[in-house]
Amino acid sequence: MPADATDEYIKIGESTTIECMKRFCRAIVEVFSEWYLRSPTSEDIARLLHISQQRGFPGMLDSLDCMHLKWKNCPTAWAGQFAGRSGSPIIILEAVADYDLWIEHAYFGMPGSRNDINVLKASNLFSKLAQGTAPPDNYIIQGK
């Protein structure tokens, strides 16, 4: 959402919102960069492929899931745009994660998407696959 829109909802000005977001992002990078915000090493890939092989999914590094999360504090004015089948506001999260919960890709469904198919259509991950611009299957395994 635009930074100036937060003033109406939580009564914080645009400049304060931007400063808080910058501080939050710096803190996330500082705390999590060493382990979670890095590319997997050759050892990580070998371990994940071994785990997948044992579980019956040879060659699989990651898993894709679309989750429907209830939005408890959704602003009343937005509730209709985010209403799910149950009538209560939801946000759909598409995530690609591995066994160690490294998240390689995350996409939150926009207002009105309300179902997995619409989220997948809007997802950058799947639009690259559909356009034929995604890396080949052996891209990560070759270490490129």
- Please give the pLDDT value at position 3: 59
Q: Is the dihedral of CA 126, 131, 137, 142 positive or negative?
A: negative
Range from 63-67, 78-82, 107-111, 124-128 carrying the lowest mean pLDDT: 124-128
Say if residue 127's pLDDT is above 60. Answer: yes
At residue 144 the predicted structure's pLDDT band, cuts being 50, 70 and 90, is very low
Give the per-residue pLDDT at 141.
43
Q: Is the pLDDT of residue 71 over 80?
A: yes
Using alpha carbons, list the distances in angstroms from residue 1 to 8, 32, 59, 135. 12, 24, 38, 30
User: Would you call 128 helix, strand, or coil by DSSP?
Assistant: helix
**b/e map of 122-134 (b: 16 or more CB within 10 Å)?**
ebebbeeeeeeee
45 Cβ contact partners less than 8 Å away, ≥ 6 residues apart:
61, 140, 141
Per the model's pLDDT, the better-predicted residue between 3 and 67 turns out to be 67
Q: Letter for the amino acid at 86? A: S
Indicate if the pLDDT at residue 57 is higher than 90.
no
pTM: 0.55
Max mean pLDDT among 24-33, 83-92, 115-124 falls in: 24-33
Q: How confident is the model at residue 26 (pLDDT cuts 50, 70, 90)?
A: very high
